[in-house]
Copies of this chain bind each other. A is one copy, B any other.
Amino acid sequence: MFANGGFARRAETPMPSTPNRTDLVEGLHYLSMRDHVAGRIASGELKPGERLPSERRLQTDVGMARGTIREGLFQLEAEGVIYRKDRSGWYVSPPPVVYDPTRWEGFMSYVEAQGRRPATETLSKTEIPCDAALAQIFRRPVGAPMYLIRRRRYVDDRAVLVESIVVDAVTAPGLLEHSLDRSLTSVLKSHYNISVARNQVDMQPCALTREEAEALRVKSGLPGLSVVRTSYDAQGRVVEHDREFWRHDALKISVDIRVR
């Protein structure tokens, strides 16, 4: 319980009238705090998308220091139960989207298939010269023209990922003139007759660094999931190279595999 043993201090500091403390009897303060809020969510008192009481309000509700309150909130955040909007408040997380890297439908279709509302926003589209790293991936000379597309994607109006896509400009000339606010894959197929035969996907828990965090409007350093995908056509040529940064609470990966 309390830092100083849990008994003496509780007596000397009267602790204001906090009647609803039945679930706070055992263990550490910040975990009790966690349970208190988790309970209110599980009971349906707080529903997905709804805002939690402010930290200072919770402080008086449960009678703890604000630092302890926040410790508990961070727990729930790590569990994906709540999330925060910077300086606006804490909110109850909606359920995650299920993602199957082996299925080659785009983001838009699988989000829709799950009864959610997807949206895509193109942040920028530029032509860049191929650098050393991309040269290796695409097996093209350094300096060759490439398209770089940055997009932000939403589920039910919540930004869940930012991505940077690179496509060989020689393979898909004039790509940037098409609308990129829907599936890129379908554009590549319908306008350039390019289809994907092989997919290399890497996923790793990460921290969202400044750039990604800003784009997702979350605090820098929050946990996220990095997904890097390289797509190849039937000839083994690299079609696109995509790096996605997901909110850690927005995604569930599900793969169904026939063992080779």
A-side residues, CB < 8 A to B, are 31, 34, 74-75, 78-80, 96, 101-102, 104, 196-207, 220-223, 225, 248-249, 251-260
Contact = CB atoms under 8 A, between A and B. Distances in A.
Contacts of A223: 78, 205, 223, 248
Contact of A254 (B78, B104, B202): B202
9 contacts: A31-B221, A79-B206, A199-B257, A201-B256, A202-B254, A205-B205, A205-B225, A205-B249, A255-B255
Nearest to A222: B78
A256 B78 contact: no
A6 B9 CA distance: 34
B204 A79 contact: no
The 4 closest A-B pairs by CB, nearest first: A79-B207, A203-B253, A78-B207, A205-B248
Contacts of A257: 101-102, 198-201
A142 B184 CA distance: 47
Residue in A80, A199, A253, A254 with the greatest tally of chain B CB atoms within 10 Å: A253
